[in-house]
């Protein structure tokens, strides 16, 4: 008989992330495709599966259809059955405290009836927006060992970028493993510490119930980093930091997203798909039904990932191609990420481009950077666009989804945004 789980995981998966621009025009960040076959949400879900944590609540808000369609009932991650499952909890209108989620803490607060129903011994709350490999049993064990009220997973970031995160000063109580958090500041203008919160929290449920209730009654904002952690620190609760040393793809900007995809490539990739045991839902967009990859006699693939349904008749270098991409003869795709069902016409050239689903590049079109791509910004093409033959688009450009033909002028200069 399968015992009732002692840990309930709640995944914060509803945010849009404005910096990702057109990639999140019709989906939350957690549902953005990554790595040629997966969605961002697949990484925390796979971590949960590998950690043996099978009771999961998914807090979704912004344009949830793509995420719900992808996750389904959690069968792809073996999370369906007695005492396990993935429960999608969108905002709702009803009796009592119910409304649009006003922040990460409020999202959990509005679903405390669900938490109390399952009465977990430990509550694991984590973001569905990041790419990493972690055995959550280690942070849970550390949290229980220290009898902590809250344990925050932290990773060291460069001081120059620490202002973008909630950062902590952690003592050396347990050396490389972790220690007591002495100070915590959310997105400081002039940071003095570089242990950044990974938005992975282990809570004693009763402590969380109390602090969320106070937050709902007394505060004007409702975030874990901005409100909950500082309140627990001020109350001198037992707040610990668990030090994580592995890879962490934050992917909050287009350039970070592009670089994270490039980290899937190379002789020694930083993101190790098979070693990490990443799973995805192969039913979503009918990935499992695509024909095998086809490469013609004149086609070539170098240091790239190309998946089922791709037809390569041109040249592909340092790129990631999702299922259904067709690269026609004479076309060149370099340093780019092409989502599902893109068509790259004859003699077209793409260089440092991120292209959403169902984009057609006309024959002879030229899109993206020239020269050293590391010094150029990424060009992003929104979904369902048709670029005419010979169209030229510079580096760092953005084309919004579903643009009408009159917006597709002969040339779009570097950095231009077309809405």
- Higher-confidence residue: 287 or 333? 333
Tell me: do 230 and 310 sit in the same domain: no
Q: With contact defined as beta carbons under 8 Å apart, do 369 and 376 qualify?
A: yes
What are the angstrom distances between the C-alpha of 1 and each of 82, 106, 140? 10, 35, 24
Confidence of residue 99 (pLDDT cuts 50, 70, 90): low
Q: What is the pLDDT of residues 82-98, one digit of tens each?
A: 878 899 887 765 555 55
Tell me: do 225 and 310 sit in the same domain: no
| CATH number of the domain within which 113 lies | 3.90.550.10
Share of the chain above pLDDT 90, in %: 83
Tell me: do 243 and 138 sit in the same domain: yes
Confidence of residue 1 (pLDDT cuts 50, 70, 90): very low
Task: State residue 167's pLDDT score.
Answer: 98
Q: Is the pLDDT of residue 29 over 80?
A: yes
Residue labelled with tokens 């150029």: 376
Within a domain: 284:
no
Per the structure, the complete domain to which residue 410 belongs is given by: 291-418
Within a domain: 388:
yes
| CATH number of the domain within which 374 lies | 2.160.10.10
Tell me: do 385 and 239 sit in the same domain: no
Q: Is the pLDDT of residue 364 over 60?
A: yes
Tell me: do 58 and 175 sit in the same domain: yes
* Gap between the Cα atoms of 72 and 58, Å rounded: 11
Q: What is the mean pLDDT of residues 220-248?
A: 96
Task: State residue 371's pLDDT score.
Answer: 81
* Gap between the Cα atoms of 158 and 161, Å rounded: 6
Q: Is the pLDDT of residue 297 over 90?
A: yes
Q: Is the pLDDT of residue 216 over 50?
A: yes
Q: Encoding tokens for residue 38?
A: 């997966």
Q: Is the pLDDT of residue 188 over 80?
A: yes
* Gap between the Cα atoms of 249 and 127, Å rounded: 12
Question: How many domains does the chain divide into?
Answer: 2
Mapped onto helix, strand or coil, the DSSP state of residue 38 is strand
Tell me: do 299 and 257 sit in the same domain: no
Tell me: do 137 and 56 sit in the same domain: yes
Q: What is the mean pLDDT of residues 285-306?
A: 94
Tell me: do 238 and 373 sit in the same domain: no
Beta strands in 128-261 (DSSP E): 131-132, 150-156, 166-170, 178-186, 195-203, 239-243, 248-249
| 271 contact partners, CB below 8 Å, separation of at least 6 | 35, 131, 247, 249, 260, 263, 264
């Amino acid at each position: 008989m399968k015992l009732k789980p002692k840990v309930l995981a709640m995944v914060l998966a509803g945010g849009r992330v404005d910096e990702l621009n057109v990639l999140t025009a019709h989906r939350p960040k957690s549902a953005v495709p990554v790595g040629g076959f997966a969605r961002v949400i697949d990484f925390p879900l796979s971590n949960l599966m590998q950690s043996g944590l099978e009771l999961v609540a998914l807090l979704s808000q912004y344009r949830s259809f793509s995420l719900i369609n992808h996750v389904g009932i959690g069968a792809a991650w073996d999370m369906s059955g007695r005492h396990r499952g993935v429960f999608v909890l969108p905002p709702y209108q009803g009796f009592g405290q119910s409304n649009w989620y006003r922040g990460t803490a409020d999202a959990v607060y509005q679903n405390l009836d669900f938490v109390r129903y399952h009465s977990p011994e430990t509550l694991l709350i984590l973001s569905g927006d990041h790419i990493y490999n972690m055995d959550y049993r280690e942070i849970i064990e550390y949290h229980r060992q220290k009898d902590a009220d809250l344990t925050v997973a932290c990773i060291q970031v460069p001081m120059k970028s620490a202002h973008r995160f909630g950062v902590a000063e952690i003592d050396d109580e347990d050396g490389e493993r972790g220690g007591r958090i002495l100070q915590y500041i959310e997105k400081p203008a002039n940071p003095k510490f570089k242990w950044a919160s990974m938005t992975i929290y282990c809570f004693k449920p009763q402590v969380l119930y109390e602090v969320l209730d106070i937050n709902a009654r007394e505060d004007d904002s409702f975030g874990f980093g901005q409100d909950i952690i500082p309140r627990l620190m001020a109350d001198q609760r037992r707040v610990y930091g668990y030090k994580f040393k592995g890879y962490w793809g934050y992917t909050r900007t287009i350039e970070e997203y592009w670089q994270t995809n490039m980290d899937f490539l190379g002789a020694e990739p930083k993101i190790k798909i098979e070693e990490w045991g990443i799973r995805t839902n192969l039913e979503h967009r009918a990935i499992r039904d695509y024909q095998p990859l086809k490469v013609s006699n004149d086609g070539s693939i170098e240091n790239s990932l190309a998946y089922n349904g791709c037809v390569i008749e041109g040249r592909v270098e340092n790129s990631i191609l999702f299922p259904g991409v067709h690269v026609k003869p004479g076309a060149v795709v370099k340093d780019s990420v092409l989502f599902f069902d893109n068509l790259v016409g004859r003699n077209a050239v793409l260089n440092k481009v991120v292209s959403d689903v169902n984009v057609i590049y006309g024959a002879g079109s030229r899109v993206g950077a020239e020269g050293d791509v590391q010094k150029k910004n990424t060009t992003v093409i929104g979904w369902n666009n048709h670029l005419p033959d010979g169209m030229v688009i510079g580096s760092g450009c953005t084309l919004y989804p579903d643009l009408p033909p009159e917006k597709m002028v002969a040339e779009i200069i570097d950095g231009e945004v077309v809405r």
